[in-house]
Structure 1
Amino acid sequence: MRILICEDSVLLREGLVRLLEHSGHTVVAALRDAEGIVEAVADTEPELCILDVRLPPSFTDEGIRAALRLRQGSPDLPILVLSQYVEERYAAELIAAHGGPLGYLLKDRVADVAEFVDSVERIAGGDTILDPEVVAQLLSRRGRDDRLRRLTERERTVLAAIAEGRSNQAIAQLLFLSEASVEKHITAIFQKLGLAADDAGNRRVMAAIAYLTSTGAVQAPPAYPGQGSGAGSTAGSGA
């Protein structure tokens, strides 16, 4: 597999290069920042990109914003965000972006090399894998998802369509409803899931995560040694 890495730490960057090449993969580019990453992807045609969240020059959110740019320009490209941080705003947007496979793993929770390589290969193969801590933070203060039991059958159908990345118009066409009816159903879904209107515009994302978590539609990463058996939360992409 052809892999592009974007990581500012030279030790981690070179460590990833050696690890992945030792595992039989080819690192086509190893960048220290996200400048020129879109051009690098076009030139090297990787089959997977691994990016840190915080990169030069400001070490805030350059990496995950670069991941969003890659998703827009190459929607089928598998992306793995590998970071010490959960950048909630852009993480939610990246999960919501309709496109290729996605991973978001936290560096300090990866304690087994073989399991990490397996996750990399699964993402490249089409899986979406999110660290349970990422999911926990995105769903924090929203309660457990037996909330879905509050939904009517029609509302669950609408929510499933949201999780597939469908717009209100597409949902209306799918279910032979007016867009106004779809909007009423979505408003009811948000209320029953406890997703307030001030959730930074990410209510569709969080609703989709709640649905995919409840259905097991997206796989959790392996329980790395030290994570404990309770780390198996899941999440996935929505609209």
Structure 2
Amino acid sequence: MHVDLNSDSGESFSNWQMGDDATMMQIVTSANIACGFHAGDASVMSTTVGLAAENNVAIGAHVSYQDLANFGRVFHDVAPSDLTSLVLYQLGALQALGAPRGAKIRYVKPHGALYNTIVTHEAHARAVVDALVEFDDELPILCLPNSVIYREAERAGLRPVVEAFADRAYTPEGTLVSRREAGAVITDPQVAAERMVRLATEGVLEAIDGSDVRLQAESICVHGDTPSAVNLARTVREALSNAGVEVQAFV
């Protein structure tokens, strides 16, 4: 048994700090690096790429709507062609900053509102897929199962990779509980670890109503802005290893 452990990274901006990327890079196997549109800037991106490269962590482009003011968590009704260009812009920026270190983008993960929107929004899902096809059709994309983006990625010959969230609650339908609802974010490291061990070994997650959700995931995410994110990620990784699950990058 094996699974990837990823974390949102590089989400500081100028003098404003978010998360402990230096420590997190010693725990995770993949890093979703913000590309400047929901968080991050050129200096932060460059530093984060360097940390990932030093720790042999796979680099993913964490692309978003252009929304620094709201941390990328608000839907933007942009034209699909514009969204394709925005995603390409972010991929190009991260690629350029990785090049001096010989570091390459290994996968893509949409962020926040974009991630949630393309679960059901066909036009925006196709726009994201179009960007990947134009940039590098070998790049996998992290997404939820049974989503529009999953189907659109498959249709275009891309590799959709199902992920689960260690620090988020699930609905009985297998989608994420809205952050506006009580209990949406799981902050107890032990609770998160127990849930992820069951996911990795049984393919089951407990929904917020107590029912079981079947889910086969190749990667597990810990959000960098979750309280005690580093401790949560470390506890999850140790619990997986103790359960005989090898933690390794999916790419």
TM-score band by shorter chain is: 0.3 to 0.5
More relative contact order, 1 or 2 (CA 8 Å, 6+ apart): 2
The structure with the greater share of residues assigned to helix is 1
| TM-score, with structure 1 as normaliser | 0.33
Question: If you compute each CA radius of gyration, which structure gives the higher value, 1 or 2?
Answer: 1
